[in-house]
């Protein structure tokens, strides 16, 4: 469908959507359009005017029959809604039937994270007697010190890092730039790595492989998984879990939620509120120490 290609170009060029976001929209909406073609019997002659409320509800029913998760269904509904908003704004359709569809509420799962002790152990795992071990220590330290995303870390160039000022310039989602501080431990690890980096590349990338090429997200995922498995029996600890650990530990130490929002680069505070999980035992301990009547019998 021509309008689908135009919509994908629109979000990429006008909304600064990341390649990952564009790919997700393309996948979800291609599935919707394919279903609509089958449902209406207009596989080769499908037009936006054929995409009515009945088709959308049929698509949702099909997803439920496939036992898709609530999160998956909600994401696909969001994509369909965005597509129809675009079609209406461009004057392609007069009505927006997708606005009448209620998406299922997403399950609020708490992402995996490490405790302070587990994080300290992980940071000590790389063999810093080797250049790549020093690189890996710098990667882990920077993840935990700054809370940046995996995509942001692998996109970093040398010029983005201010070692004396202990700040890093990050290009986040929607190509929004932010400045994030990091601590002395991360600065020391970065200095050690930069001495080795000179022998591997004259390029721009901050983190490179043994051949001097920019590290990929997949490579960083693998190295994080390798170090976690060597010091822990935990599963599901990804680079994002290190970001989550960063936010969780700041919050537990009393950091303001809005400050954490700025550090993480979240547009909405509601996104940051996912990080406000504090276990019941800790809440009880805080209550016993803080409430004026908690010690009275």
Per-residue pLDDT reduced to its tens digit, 2-13: 899 999 999 988
| Residues 196-252 pLDDT 10s | 999 999 999 999 999 999 999 999 999 998 998 887 656 667 888 888 888 888 888
95 and 201, same structural domain? no
What pLDDT is stored for residue 268 in this prediction? 65
Q: How far apart are CA 100 and CA 265, in angstroms?
A: 31
User: Number of folded domains in the chain?
Assistant: 2
> When comparing pLDDT for 289 and 125, which is higher?
125
What pLDDT is stored for residue 269 in this prediction? 60
| Residues 35-73 pLDDT 10s | 999 998 887 778 888 899 999 999 999 998 998 888 899
Residues marked active site are found at 149, 173, 240, 243, 266, 275
**For the domain that residue 57 is a member of, what is the CATH number?**
1.10.150.130
* pLDDT of residue 75 exceeding 80: yes
123 and 69, same structural domain? no
| Domain end (from 100, 135, 150) | 100
Q: Residue 48: inside a domain, yes or no? A: yes
Q: Residue 71: inside a domain, yes or no? A: yes
Provide the pLDDT confidence category of residue 111 given band limits of 50, 70 and 90: low
91 and 130, same structural domain? no
Q: How far apart are CA 275 and CA 14, in angstroms?
A: 31
Q: Which domain holds residue 148?
A: 116-282
DSSP E strands: which ranges in the chain?
A: 161-162, 167-171, 177-181
Beta bridge mates, 169: 179
| Residues 93-108 pLDDT 10s | 889 999 998 877 766 5
């Amino acid at each position: 469908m021509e309008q689908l290609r135009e919509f994908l170009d629109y979000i990429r060029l006008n909304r600064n959507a990341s390649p990952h976001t564009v790919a997700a929209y393309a996948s979800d909406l291609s599935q919707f359009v394919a279903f609509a073609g089958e449902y209406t019997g207009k596989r080769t002659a499908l037009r936006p005017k054929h995409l009515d409320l009945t088709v959308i509800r049929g698509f949702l029913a099909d997803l439920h029959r496939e036992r898709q998760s609530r999160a998956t269904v909600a994401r696909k509904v969001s994509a369909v809604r965005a597509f129809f908003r675009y079609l209406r704004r461009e004057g392609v359709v007069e009505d927006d039937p997708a606005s009448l569809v209620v998406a299922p509420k997403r399950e609020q799962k708490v992402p995996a994270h490490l405790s302070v002790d587990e994080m300290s152990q992980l940071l000590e795992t790389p063999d810093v007697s080797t250049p790549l071990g020093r690189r890996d220590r710098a990667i882990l330290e920077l993840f935990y010190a700054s809370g940046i995303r995996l995509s942001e870390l692998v996109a970093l160039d040398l010029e983005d890092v201010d070692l004396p000022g202990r700040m890093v310039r990050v290009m986040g989602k929607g190509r929004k730039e932010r400045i994030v501080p990091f601590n002395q431990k991360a600065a020391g690890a970065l200095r050690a790595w930069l001495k080795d980096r000179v022998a591997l590349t004259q390029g721009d990338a901050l983190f490179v492989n043994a051949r001097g090429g920019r590290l990929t997200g997949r490579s960083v995922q693998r190295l994080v998984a390798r170090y976690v498995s060597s010091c822990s029996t935990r599963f599901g600890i990804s680079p994002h879990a290190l970001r989550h650990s960063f936010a969780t530990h700041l919050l537990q130490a009393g950091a303001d939620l809005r400050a954490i929002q700025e550090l993480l680069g979240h547009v909405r505070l509601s996104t940051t509120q996912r990080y406000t999980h504090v276990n019941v035992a800790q809440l009880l301990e805080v209550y016993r120490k803080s409430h004026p009547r908690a010690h009275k019998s």
